[in-house]
Structure 1
Amino acid sequence: MSSVHPSTRIHRVPAAAPDDLSGLERLVATGALDPSGILAILGKTEGNGCVNDFTRGFATRALADFLRARIGNERAADVVLVMSGGTEGALSPHWLVFERVEHGEGDAFPDGSLAIGTSVTRDVLPEEIGRAAQMDVVRSGVVDAMAAAGITSVDDVHFVQVKCPLLTSARIVAAAARGRSCAVSDTLKSMGLSRGASALGIALALGELDAAAIFESAVGRDMNLFSRRASTSAGIELMGHEILVLGMSRGWRGPLAVGHAVMRDAIDAAAVQACLQGLGVPDGAGFEALLAKAEASRTGLVRGARHTMNDDSDISATRHARAFVGGMLAGLTGTTELFVSGGAEHQGPDGGGPVAVIVRRNAS
């Protein structure tokens, strides 16, 4: 890295609709947010989170227009936009804006400060989704995002958020016209395969798993293979991957820090509390943001008690899990503006999932 020490600002902004950017516009107008420094925007939108959730594309389009008007087409194209559909229960639609300030604000901390890096991969072909080719694309993208953040050790990475594509009927037909078959013909199931392959790509990039241990046939099947720091979300609005790496670096300045935990199941509040304690804010003071995965256990049990999420033919288990885990985490953090993403294939143990917590520390 250069001698300049960057720092990170995070803006958590409520949204009244998938195209409501009034909160962002106010931040820009008051000088609290410099659009030229935006590296990524994560959004929770109030759709169903399934294949036909166009709130994600609607939000992406609105944000892209917002950015192009302020920083130009070329720079706007580099901003990672990760829209996660589904705000079941009391989860609140909101934007989470990651801004890089080139001349770092605040003190230097002995263990470093929050460092952020992004990358956008090439578009994949429909027949690559859920397969080894997708894993390799994501692995390379994570390495690129780490380099952009100036993070040299995988041990300093605490969370990797990826937006990945899914299959539609049209995409499956296009592949067939070229003589190619896709991993699955069920478009809803393609979301899980895409999330899973992306998560395994993250695990490879971070050295959590060895390539020799991962066979293409394991994607979506062998849930003993997982990353402890991956969060992936599939959507119809793209064919590439948008990647955000969150870590710690002594090359960055400022009071923000990130830590991660792995919930062993959907009610593992203790793991998140331990993460907060490790960051020095056990009572939640200084809390800035939380990102988490939610998944209904395939066993149909939570600590020996039966759940019915997988047996509900009316509502997807993914939607149940977001609401359930979101409520538990809201009780810990004191806010419903949480980035809880459903579908945790190869992301933490079955029924659990990785969590990242970002806090603001006081200089000693």
Structure 2
Amino acid sequence: MPMKIGVHKLAMASPADTAELRAQLESGAIDPRSVVAVIGKTEGNGGANDFTRALATMCFAQVLAEARGEAVAEVEAAVAFVWSGGTEGVLSPHATVFTRQEDQDEPAGGGRLALGLAMSPDLAPEDIGRMAHVEMVRAATERAMADAGICDPADVHYVQVKGPLLTPARIADAGGRGAALVTQDPNGSKPYARGAMALGVALALGEVKAENVDDGAIARRLELYSSVASTSAGGELTKCEVLLFGNSAAAVGEFRIGHAVLADAIDASAVKAAISDAGGAPVAVFAKAEAAATLRGRRTTMLSDADIHYERHARAAVGGVIASVTGDPAIFVSGGTEHQCTPGAAPIAVIARV
């Protein structure tokens, strides 16, 4: 039977706030057993010590477990939770809940939103930011594409990957075993982790050639990239979660997805292009943000500010530009674009109601 994806955006008063989720479950607007993924923004710092992400997962999983009559561990194994910390500027804390069900409607022309999910095995600390990390995401992306019922990579518009980074405990574990790591810096491991995951997506979708990707390329050879990957790393995860979105002729429902490339942090035209590509009224927007020392010939202080991390500058800037176009500040904007579009550029995807 055809796949039907539901998209439900919920406001959050805090990282632990599940009031809107409970209300949607109680009203029947969301069938708890149909929930397959949650992507959201929390008001944490977005760094290696951002515990708001784990808190939000725990609270959402508890509510879903109660509603589904399952254990929390069962929910966490079945539902992909992707949280990005940092709601700087106008960005509004929120969660987008995705449901997936079979439907008897006849597919409409042009395709409708399809969603595939896959998880990698647990990563050892010494694998993070290296080829083992790349290959795990490549394999998971291929499984997610099959799960979405999409055969042509051209129909894929957004691949969200969340995976682990190095934490002090993982660094100590590796040291105790004599295992060499890509870095000894937890926050410094983020570019390697994000880059490895993006290259895994690029390999799976045929955007780069396998012979060009090795340990030395990760977070260095930035001319190798995916145009649809969006990757984030957090200390709350031990494996990689892959959520692949595209349009399928076999899917039904009221949503489509489109994408574009932000040439820089103030590229409002790309926001409009992504909306046009989706072909309807925007419901959810997912973008990456990258800081730059110069912007259209003007100097910025993003990379030289000792008080505010450059990722926070970038998220605030990009969020303001997108909200100015959509009129909705509940936007998923994540920092760090290693191997995600050409250097200086960033991906943006829009889910629209058609």
So what's the TM-score if we normalise by structure 1? Answer: 0.94
1:302 counterpart letter in structure 2 = L
Q: CA deviation at 1:13?
A: 0.5
Q: Kindly indicate whether the alpha-carbon contact (under 8 Å) linking 1:104 and 1:254 is maintained by their aligned counterparts in 2.
A: no
For residues 231 and 275 of structure 1, what CA distance do their matches in structure 2 show? 15
Q: Which moved more, 1:71-80 or 1:251-260?
A: 71-80
For residues 52 and 75 of structure 2, what CA distance do their matches in structure 1 show? 24
Aligned Cα root-mean-square deviation (Å) = 1.2
Alignment of 1:173-212 (within 5 A): 173-212=172-211
Q: CA deviation at 1:76?
A: 4.5
Residue equivalent to 1:144: 143
Q: Give the match's secondary structure for 1:97.
A: strand
Alignment of 1:5-20 (within 5 A): 5-20=2-17
Residue equivalent to 2:48: 51
Residue equivalent to 1:270: 269
Q: Kindly indicate whether the alpha-carbon contact (under 8 Å) linking 2:259 and 2:273 is maintained by their aligned counterparts in 1.
A: no
For residues 113 and 174 of structure 2, what CA distance do their matches in structure 1 show? 41
Residue equivalent to 2:60: 63
Deviations 1:337-361 (A, max 9, x none): 0011111111112222101001011
Q: CA deviation at 1:108?
A: 2.8
Q: Give the match's secondary structure for 2:216.
A: helix
Q: Which moved more, 1:324-333 or 1:70-79?
A: 70-79
Identical columns (%) = 47
Q: CA deviation at 1:75?
A: 4.8
Residue equivalent to 2:337: 344
Q: Give the match's secondary structure for 1:114.
A: strand
Q: Give the match's secondary structure for 1:311.
A: coil
For residues 235 and 30 of structure 2, what CA distance do their matches in structure 1 show? 29
Unmatched 5+ stretches in structure 2: none
For residues 104 and 243 of structure 1, what CA distance do their matches in structure 2 show? 27
Q: Kindly indicate whether the alpha-carbon contact (under 8 Å) linking 1:124 and 1:240 is maintained by their aligned counterparts in 2.
A: yes
So what's the TM-score if we normalise by structure 2? Answer: 0.96
Deviations 1:218-252 (A, max 9, x none): 11112211110000111110110111100010111
Q: CA deviation at 1:28?
A: 0.7
Alignment of 1:27-106 (within 5 A): 27-71=24-68, 72-73=70-71, 74-103=74-103
For residues 70 and 144 of structure 1, what CA distance do their matches in structure 2 show? 28
Q: Kindly indicate whether the alpha-carbon contact (under 8 Å) linking 1:78 and 1:120 is maintained by their aligned counterparts in 2.
A: no
Residue equivalent to 1:360: 353
Q: Give the match's secondary structure for 2:56.
A: helix
Q: Give the match's secondary structure for 1:65.
A: helix
1:327 aligns with 2:320: yes
Q: Which moved more, 1:195-204 or 1:69-78?
A: 69-78
Residue equivalent to 1:293: 288
Q: Kindly indicate whether the alpha-carbon contact (under 8 Å) linking 1:104 and 1:252 is maintained by their aligned counterparts in 2.
A: no
For residues 89 and 344 of structure 1, what CA distance do their matches in structure 2 show? 20
Residue equivalent to 2:243: 244
Q: Kindly indicate whether the alpha-carbon contact (under 8 Å) linking 1:172 and 1:181 is maintained by their aligned counterparts in 2.
A: no
Residue equivalent to 2:216: 217
Q: Kindly indicate whether the alpha-carbon contact (under 8 Å) linking 1:112 and 1:249 is maintained by their aligned counterparts in 2.
A: yes
For residues 222 and 268 of structure 1, what CA distance do their matches in structure 2 show? 24
Q: Give the match's secondary structure for 2:143.
A: helix
The count of corresponding residues between Structure 1 and Structure 2 is 351
For residues 312 and 94 of structure 1, what CA distance do their matches in structure 2 show? 28
Q: Give the match's secondary structure for 2:251.
A: coil
